[in-house]
Amino acid sequence: MAESSLPVWLLDSKEEITNSKEWNDFLQDLYDAIEQQLRESRISSFSDLSVSEQKLFVEKATKAICEGPTHAELFKRVSKSLDRQLNNEVSRQLLEDSPVSTKNDLLIGNTQDGIVSLLKKWPDMRSKLTALFNQSLSDSVRPVAWKTFLENGKVRKKYLQALDLRPQSVISPLDRRISRTLEQLVNSEPNFDDLQGSAGVVSAMRSILSYHHLVNCPSAEILPDAFFYILLPFVLLEIPNISKGEKPSSRIVAQLVEQYFAFLSSLPTFINELINGRQDDQIRTFSKRVANFLHQLSPSLSSPR
């Protein structure tokens, strides 16, 4: 991803920061910390290290100085620069002949654009999204965040290869039953209201759930409704990219298969057991621990009503 694809206000912030005294002071401390590591490791030159070793040295040096004064001053400088450049960009947009958004909307929109561009350029920065924990992500940020967290190229490649070789090989023997269950949910459950009249999105869900049953639980005689509900947020996000009256492209279905499978694999074992309707000692033990914890916090909350 080219640097020019970053928002102008971010590029201006970068230029301002990298030309600042705070940045140069931070770099000097970083160089000194790396030099100290080299001396302690009896290595004559940083270039003698492999790329992975160089990265490790830089990460260790950065961690060593991140609590120091130069890092704190740099953090202040970065915050001030981002705030100033973002507000400059919003002010410029407000001076346009016919601005259609409020200042607050523009601040939020430009910030989201910055987050998306940074995630695309540096996917490893997804860990920074923990700052938004328990907050609703915007429609522009959510797909990029999910893509970086739920990436699994092997799953996507396997699905596409099977689809290309023999389309029937990605369809479960329970495909018709899955289709009927999905139709019932669309017609009766409020959470599925957005799928009404959108045959393309329903087709995508059916394909994903059918392949999920085939690969992940082929011996199951039914597919629990929980799997339908878990998939729903993923397909709702793709509604703008799926034609209402036509089958979705294999690219979109493969992307959803990838994200759905990755999410399911990240669930704790006892959650998967519950979804599949299996109760074992591990689940009962966990449930008792949760109940005891709730009782300690609030006896009235945990007591039966």
Residue 120 to residues 12, 104, 137, 139, Cα–Cα distance (Å): 19, 25, 16, 15
Q: How far apart, in whole angstroms, are the C-alpha atoms of residue 66 and residue 55? A: 16
Task: Look at the block and give the residue holding tokens 């490791």.
Answer: 41
Model pTM? 0.75
CB 138 within 8 A of CB 115: no
Q: How far apart, in whole angstroms, are the C-alpha atoms of residue 305 and residue 299? A: 12
CB 275 within 8 A of CB 224: yes
Weakly modelled stretches of the chain, pLDDT under 50: 1
- Cα angle, residue 163 at apex, residues 160 and 167 outer, rounded to 5°: 170
For residue 78, the model assigns a pLDDT of: 96
Q: Spell out the residues 6+ positions from residue 134 whose beta carbon is closer than 8 angstroms to its own.
A: none
What's the token pair of residue 173?
Answer: 């023997």
pLDDT in tens, 194-218: 898 899 999 999 999 999 999 998 9
For residue 304, the model assigns a pLDDT of: 58
pLDDT in tens, 102-139: 899 999 999 999 999 999 999 888 888 888 888 888 88
Task: Look at the block and give the residue holding tokens 């965040």.
Answer: 145
Select from 137, 95, 98 the least CA-distant residue to 119.
Answer: 137
For residue 197, the model assigns a pLDDT of: 87
To the nearest 10°, report the CA torsion of 46, 3, 153, 191: 130
Return the number of other C-beta atoms located less than 10 Å from residue 106's C-beta.
20
CB 46 within 8 A of CB 54: yes
For residue 57, the model assigns a pLDDT of: 93
Return the number of other C-beta atoms located less than 10 Å from residue 34's C-beta.
19
For residue 89, the model assigns a pLDDT of: 94
- Cα angle, residue 269 at apex, residues 266 and 274 outer, rounded to 5°: 110
First CA to last CA distance, the chain:
56
For residue 253, the model assigns a pLDDT of: 96
Return the number of other C-beta atoms located less than 10 Å from residue 31's C-beta.
12
Q: How far apart, in whole angstroms, are the C-alpha atoms of residue 39 and residue 37? A: 5
Q: How far apart, in whole angstroms, are the C-alpha atoms of residue 185 and residue 252? A: 22
For residue 1, the model assigns a pLDDT of: 45
